[in-house]
Amino acid sequence: MLLSVRHKFKYLVHRWKKLNFVRLLLIGFISFLLTSVLLYQIAPAPEIPIISEKFRKFEEHKNDYNTLFFGSSRIYRHIIPRVFDRQMASKGYNIKSYNLGVSGMNFAETYFFIQQILETKPMNIKWVFIEIPDFNLNIADENLKTNRVIYWHTLKHTLWIYRFIFKADFSVRTKLLLIQEHTIPLIHNLFNISKADPMIRSFILSQTDQNPYLIRETDQRDYSSPQEDGYLALDDEDKKYTHFVKRNQDYLSHLKSYQNNVLKFIENEKKSNNGSSLNTLEIRTIEDITQLIVKIDAQPILIISPILSNQDKFIIASKQGQIPPLISFNNPIKYPELYEPKNRFDSDHLNQAGAHKFTTILAEQFATYLNSQLKKD
């Protein structure tokens, strides 16, 4: 009898300790969540090279601009706002533009960045040029925990990305891999890991405020700052960033290969039957992005840079009114000067001379479009 009571007593003590351990875990988890929320309120936004610089510059002068450009390096390195504005002025249009393109920016990040820019409530935006999306959501493993990726993985935006993944015509394996890729930066965003980590080192460990996640990003270097209008030629990057020099040298040493690719592209375009078209999800995604522009009573304009890529499905969709107006330059026959080796920095990008020509032609095309709209009215 006494032994039985003793066993029951030990059992109750064990249960009590176990319950206390669970309570401690629960209290610790709740404390962690509350701390994360607090850090979100007090911690400064992470500094993201180029993006943070451009955001600050735009916010300081947001009501000076009436035209914006968004997209990847094919916007950042290709469109010179001061040249565009000057050319438009010669056509009778008062334009003040700013280049918000950033190297490596995919369509999901572009969508988020446009939202961030428009949340500053600029008063005079009339036209917004957006690079056509490639609908690629892959993120390199080494970039998953970088501020550059974490900042746009808010809960709301990541749910939008999940919806795209679920509805896309991907294999189950691809969908699972993409969901995993985008969940990692989401977790870092939700729990403010990128903000908490430098604060802990700075205030508790008395270390300098260096972000370790930037170190792991292979394409994250201290790039030269963009010029006042947001543009910076690849030619003007500091030569100490040897990856730029190497890209240009590789291009110059394989010019024959590049020229052959241009000829092959022209031949393939001649044989193209224009059978491809945008699917419902792609059209809806473009609509999601461009509706941000429409809501502020501005007009979205899609743009295809001078690249060796068949984009007929976008051109057809625009002609059919499924997506906004589009100005395309992926045509070496129509725009041979944009594909001349002397105007390229590499096979995918223009140099400064090429960007000047491209910007001038873009302004001429845009002025022609605006004139046609005036005649309709």
Do residues 95 and 89 lie in contact, with contact meaning Cβ atoms separated by under 8 Å? yes
For position 83, what pLDDT does the model report?
A: 98
pLDDT bucket at 203, cuts 50 / 70 / 90: very low
Query: What's the burial of 186, exposed, middle or buried (CB within 10 Å: 0-12/13-18/19+)?
Result: buried
Question: Does residue 135 surpass a pLDDT of 60?
Answer: yes
pTM as predicted: 0.84
Question: Does residue 52 surpass a pLDDT of 50?
Answer: yes
Highest mean pLDDT among 189-193, 223-227, 332-336: 332-336
Could you report the per-residue pLDDT of 141-185, keeping only the tens digit for each?
A: 888 888 899 999 999 999 999 999 999 999 999 999 999 999 999
For position 212, what pLDDT does the model report?
A: 35
pLDDT bucket at 38, cuts 50 / 70 / 90: low
pLDDT bucket at 240, cuts 50 / 70 / 90: confident
CATH T-level assignment (fold) for domain 50-135+226-377: Rossmann fold (3.40.50)
For position 209, what pLDDT does the model report?
A: 37
Instruction: Give the residue with greater pLDDT, 44 vs 95.
Output: 95
Q: In sequence order, what are the beta bridge partners of 67?
A: 97, 127
For position 219, what pLDDT does the model report?
A: 43
For position 35, what pLDDT does the model report?
A: 54
Neighbouring C-beta atoms of residue 41, cutoff 10 Å: 7
pLDDT bucket at 45, cuts 50 / 70 / 90: low
Highest mean pLDDT among 40-49, 230-239, 323-332: 323-332
Task: For the chain, give the mean pLDDT.
Answer: 85
- Cα radius of gyration (the chain): 26
Could you report the per-residue pLDDT of 268-321, keeping only the tens digit for each?
A: 888 776 667 899 999 999 999 999 999 999 999 999 999 999 999 999 999 999
Question: Does residue 74 surpass a pLDDT of 80?
Answer: yes
Mean predicted confidence (pLDDT) in 194-208: 44
For position 200, what pLDDT does the model report?
A: 44
How many CA atoms lie within 13 Å of 202's alpha carbon, on the beta-carbon side?
11
Give percent above pLDDT 90 in the chain.
68
For position 46, what pLDDT does the model report?
A: 76
CA pair distance 76, 16, nearest whole angstrom: 63
